[in-house]
Amino acid sequence: WSSDAGAMESVMNCADGQQASSMANLWSNKQESSRTQKAKGGFVLVHAGAGYHSESKAKEYKHVCKKACQRAVDQLKAGALAVEAVAAALVELEDSPFTNAGMGSNLNLSGEIECDASIMDGKSLHFGAVGAISGIKNPVSVANLSHFITIIAEFSLSAYKRNKRKMELAERMDTGHSQTKKRRQSNENENGSGCLDTVGAVVVDLEGNVAAAVSSGGLAMKHPGRIGQAAHYGCGCWAENARNVNSYSTAVSTSGSPFLASEDRVLGGVIVLRCCTCLEAQSSQNIQGKLVEFLWSHTTESMCVGYMSVQDSKAKTHISRLPSGTVPGQSLAIEGGVCRLMGVTE
């Protein structure tokens, strides 16, 4: 990768504040949502997929990121742990027809939805995942079996029919591998979201607990049963609280499309946060302060993100784009910021 896009940093001060085909290590026990002490604070960063976001749908992309942030913040305000808040944000992202996750997922070669998702709790290091799962509205909520229904977005069905026609036409034409590949790449941006990939979120609560989650409908026209990185341990997401010699809590959620050996471009994106205790906040036992550093980066043409702290009145949303003239897969965009969380435990 070259860093043609440069590093663009905006620093801001936040106000003082799951039939599954494959499962891996689902939660062994449920997190307690009611605690004696509730630290009402925290921060959330979400993304709606790395890929291409058309200007005509920019409002919709930003809106779903804003709703995901608000959903997570509502959980944090109610005293939820980071892992509960990050799951809430992912449900909102999966419910949108504009994301390649849940309801808006790409259809596989058989015209069916098969989703991958995973979630990790930085406090317990528990990890849960589902791969090539169907019949579920919200893969990230598989543990409670509360959404046993399949909904296919009209846009996803239209894209499947269009791609199916193209594949049938290509099979009748002896155009060669290179022309077929060129045609595929030229159609990636068709209808504004042809190559959107995994959605994700990272959260930190005021106690410094972090969590990360990722959800994906996978590649369009993929072979049935194919499991992507979103369902693999250590690939789609990671979260780990500060412990031992590591003074930082860290959470990461990735997005990649397609990371294949036959591709001459490396396309992907990531959101990251890390936090540590603010030294100046240690003078009072009732005050907890956290310094949160966060960023998003992508080699795709664009990436839509949203972020919000508990003390913010509304989420900030942004569609990050590579500068004009740069080549997706060969250039890198980085943006981010800093947030200071200050709050009182009850």
Please list the active-site residues.
198
Question: Is the separation of the CB atoms in 281 and 267 below 8 Å?
Answer: no
Question: Is the separation of the CB atoms in 304 and 62 below 8 Å?
Answer: yes
Closest CA to 338 of 7, 15, 10, 6: 10
| Tokens (6 digits) for 315 | 């989420």
DSSP conformation letters of 237-258: EEEE--BTTB--EEEEEEEES-
Identify residue 157 by its one-letter amino acid code: L
Cis upstream peptide for 258 (omega within 30°): yes
Round to whole Å and give the CA distance between 103 and 119. Answer: 18
| Tokens (6 digits) for 343 | 């709050």
Identify residue 250 by its one-letter amino acid code: T
- Expressed in percent and rounded to 5, the helix, strand and coil fractions of the chain are 25, 30, 45
Contacts of 242 (CB under 8 A, 6+ apart): 208, 248, 249, 276
Round to whole Å and give the CA distance between 342 and 104. Answer: 37
Enumerate helices (H) and strands (E) in the chain, giving the number of each: 4, 13
| Tokens (6 digits) for 9 | 């940093």
**Alpha helices (runs of H) in 1-81, residue ranges in sequence order:** 58-77
| Eight-state DSSP code of residue 107 | P
Question: Is the separation of the CB atoms in 198 and 100 below 8 Å?
Answer: yes
| Tokens (6 digits) for 65 | 């990121």
> In residues, how long is the chain?
346
Vertex 324 angle, CA 318 and 330, to 5°: 90
